[in-house]
Amino acid sequence: MLLELTNDSRYISSMFTGEKGKVSLPVMGQAQAPRKRRHPNWIKVQMPTKPTYFELKKRVEELELHTVCASASCPNIGECWSRRALTIMILGDICTRSCRFCDVATGRPLPADPDEPKRVATMLSELDLEHTVITCVDRDDLADGGAAHWAETITQVKAASPNMTLEVLTGDFKGNTDDVDTVLAANPDVFSHNLETVPRLSRQVRVQASYPRSYKILEHVRNRDAVTKTGLMLGLGEEMDEVREVIEQLAEMRVDILTLGQYLQPSKKHMPIARYVEPEEFVELAEFAKQCGIERTEAGPLVRSSYHADGQAQMIRDIRRTRTVS
Least separation in angstroms between CB 69 and ligand SF4 = 3
Least separation in angstroms between CB 194 and ligand SF4 = 12
C-beta of 76 vs 170, nearer to ligand SF4: 76
Comparing CA positions, the residue from 162, 170, 252, 265 lying closest to residue 217 is 170
Least separation in angstroms between CB 293 and ligand SF4 = 26
CA 35 vs CA 7, 8, 40, 270: distances in Å: 9, 8, 14, 17
Inter-residue contact 85 to 67 (CB < 8 Å): no
Comparing CA positions, the residue from 206, 216, 203 lying closest to residue 249 is 216
Inter-residue contact 157 to 118 (CB < 8 Å): no
Q: Which residues pair with 87 in a beta bridge?
A: 133
Distance separating alpha carbons of residues 4 and 44, to the nearest angstrom: 5
Instruction: Report the first-to-last Cα separation within the chain, whole angstroms.
Output: 46
Least separation in angstroms between CB 322 and ligand SF4 = 27
Question: Phi/psi class of residue 219: alpha, beta or left (left: φ > 0; alpha: ψ in -120 to 50)?
Answer: alpha
Inter-residue contact 157 to 117 (CB < 8 Å): yes
Least separation in angstroms between CB 31 and ligand SF4 = 27
C-beta of 53 vs 276, nearer to ligand SF4: 53
Least separation in angstroms between CB 306 and ligand SF4 = 3
CA 266 vs CA 8, 97, 320: distances in Å: 5, 16, 36
C-beta of 103 vs 238, nearer to ligand SF4: 103
C-beta of 179 vs 298, nearer to ligand SF4: 298
Q: Which residues pair with 300 in a beta bridge?
A: 261
Comparing CA positions, the residue from 281, 286, 277 lying closest to residue 251 is 286
Comparing CA positions, the residue from 148, 146, 144 lying closest to residue 136 is 146
Interacting residue ranges for ligand SF4, rule: CB under 6 A = 68-69, 74, 76-77, 80, 85-87, 304, 306-307
User: What's the alpha-carbon Rg for the chain, to the nearest Å?
Assistant: 19
Least separation in angstroms between CB 205 and ligand SF4 = 18
C-beta of 69 vs 164, nearer to ligand SF4: 69
C-beta of 76 vs 194, nearer to ligand SF4: 76
C-beta of 85 vs 209, nearer to ligand SF4: 85
Least separation in angstroms between CB 87 and ligand SF4 = 4
C-beta of 182 vs 230, nearer to ligand SF4: 230
Q: Which amino acid is at 212?
A: P
Least separation in angstroms between CB 312 and ligand SF4 = 13
C-beta of 94 vs 251, nearer to ligand SF4: 94
Inter-residue contact 164 to 132 (CB < 8 Å): yes
Inter-residue contact 179 to 157 (CB < 8 Å): no
Q: Which residues pair with 168 in a beta bridge?
A: 134, 191
